[in-house]
Structure 1
C-alpha cells in the first residue's frame, strides 16, 4: 500500500518529543509547587487566625520594650550623663594637680600634697563628689567609667594596690592609650602585691591591646623583666619581648628605661643558655 504525508504535516523528531515530555513534567512540577504553597499559605493563615491574641501580645511587648528604652535614654540616661560630667569636674581638677606635682623640689612636702590631692579626688571636696561617689551614684555613665580608671590610678599612687586593681578592672575602654595604661597599671599593682604571674599576664594584655610607640615598648619591657623575675624564670619569653623592642621600637632605647634594654637582653640570653 502506498504511503504519503498529508500536506502541512511534519513528523516530530525524537528530540522534539523529549522536549514536549520535559515541558509537561515542568508544568506538572510547577503545579505541584503552587499547590504546596497554597496549602502552606492556608495553614499559615489558619495558625495566625488561631493565635492572633498571642501575636498581638508579643508585638505589644516588643513595642513596650522599645518605648521603655527610648524613654529611659531620653528622659533618664541623657540627663544623668550630663549631670555626672558636671559633677566629676572638681575631682578631675584634684587628680590633675596631683599628677602634675613636681616632686624633685621637695620630695616630702610634694608627696604629702600629692597624696592629699589624690584623697580629695577620691572622696570629694568643696561640696563636690569624688570619684567614689560618682561611681556609686552615676553607674553606667561615661563619667563613672572614667572615674574607675582615675580612682585606680589614685589608689596605685597611694600604695593601696588591692583597691587599685578593683577599680581598674571595672574600667572599660577601647582607646589605644588609656586602655593599655589601665591594664599596665593593674600589672604594676600586682607586682607590688608580689603576684608576678598575674602581673605578667596584665603586662602582656597591655602591649597586645594596641601597637603604638607610647605604650607598647613600655609594657613589652615590663613583661620581659617580670618574666625574668618569676620563681621559675622564663628567659626565652623575656628575650622575645626584649628583641621585639629592639626590632620594632628602636627609638625607645633613647629613653631612661630603654637605655637598660641591652642589660636585660644580656641577662635573658645568659639564663636562656
Structure 2
C-alpha cells in the first residue's frame, strides 16, 4: 500500500530443450533416459501409493470445499452485499451529479435511512466484490471530502482489471498525493495510471498530469516524453488540443 511520508530470459522453451537433446544425444541414449525415468517414477508410485492416494483425497476435498463455498456461501453473500450497498451507491451517484455533495458523500460512507454505507460494506462483507467496489467508492468520496490520507488508504485496497476504473483508482491516488504535497508519489501514480490502459480517456489524461508534475519537479525530459506521447498516440483527445504549448515549454527547459 502507498504511504504518506515518501518523497519519493524468458525460460527456454520446450522446443529449444528438445532440439538441444536431439543434437547432443543419440536416439538410443534419449530412449534409455526416458526408460530410466519411467522406471523410477513407477517405483516411487508403488512405494508411496498410500501416501499419494491420501494427498489426492485431500486435494479433492479442498477443491470440492472451495466450489461448495463459492456456490453456497460466497455467491449469496455477494448478492446480499450488493443489495445492502444499493442505498450507499445511490447517495454516491447523487453526490457526483448533484448538490449538497459533502452531506451526500458522508451518507454514502456511513449509511442512512437504516441502510449500510460503504464503510459498513467493507467491514461486514470483507473479501466480496461488493466490498472491493466499496473501497473504490469510499476512496473517491474521501478524495472529494478532502480527506486525502483515507482516500489513499481505500483506493489502494481496490483491485480491478476494469478498463476505466483500474486506471482511475491509480490516478485518484495521484490526485490525493498532489494535495498531500508529495509530488514524487503523485508522478509515480499518474505514470502507473497512464500505462495501465491505452484507451483514449484515461491514458492521455494521466499522461498530461504526469507531464505537468514532471515539469514542476524539473524533470523536463520526462515531461516532454509524456506530452509527445499524447501528441503521437492520442491526437483526438482533449489533452492534445493544447499539447504543443506544453511540448514547447518542456523542450525549452530540457535544453537549458
TM-score clears 0.5: yes
Give the aligned partner of residue 191 of structure 1: 178
Separation (CA, whole Å) in 2 of partners of 1:155 and 1:191: 15
Q: How does 1:233-244 map to 2 (within 5 A)?
A: 233-244=218-229
1:196-231 CA deviation, whole Å, 9 max, x = no partner? 11111111111111111111111111000000112x
Provide closer, same or farther for how the CA distance between residues 44 and 266 of structure 1 changes in structure 2, counting only shifts above 3 A: closer
How much does 1:55 deviate?
2.5
Give the aligned partner of residue 74 of structure 1: 71
Q: How does 1:1-273 map to 2 (within 5 A)?
A: 48=45, 50-101=47-98, 110=99, 113-230=100-217, 233-252=218-237, 255=238, 259-273=241-255
Give the aligned partner of residue 25 of structure 1: none
Separation (CA, whole Å) in 1 of partners of 2:249 and 2:45: 76
Separation (CA, whole Å) in 2 of partners of 1:174 and 1:49: 46
How much does 1:264 deviate?
2.4
How much does 1:154 deviate?
0.3
Tell me how large the CA RMSD over aligned residues is.
2.4
Q: Secondary structure at the match of 2:246?
A: helix
How many residues are treated as equivalent by the alignment? Answer: 225
How much does 1:45 deviate?
6.3
Q: Which stretches in structure 2 are left out of the alignment for 5+ residues? A: 1-27
Q: Secondary structure at the match of 1:243?
A: helix
Is the 2:177–2:186 contact (alpha carbons within 8 Å) kept by the matching residues of 1?
yes
How much does 1:74 deviate?
1.5
Separation (CA, whole Å) in 2 of partners of 1:86 and 1:260: 45
Separation (CA, whole Å) in 1 of partners of 2:121 and 2:195: 30
1:169-222 CA deviation, whole Å, 9 max, x = no partner? 111111111111111101100111111111111111111111111111111110
TM-score (norm 2): 0.80
Segment drifting more, 87-96 vs 171-180: 171-180
Provide closer, same or farther for how the CA distance between residues 46 and 197 of structure 1 changes in structure 2, counting only shifts above 3 A: closer
Higher relative contact order (CA 8 A, sep 6+): 2
Separation (CA, whole Å) in 2 of partners of 1:218 and 1:264: 14
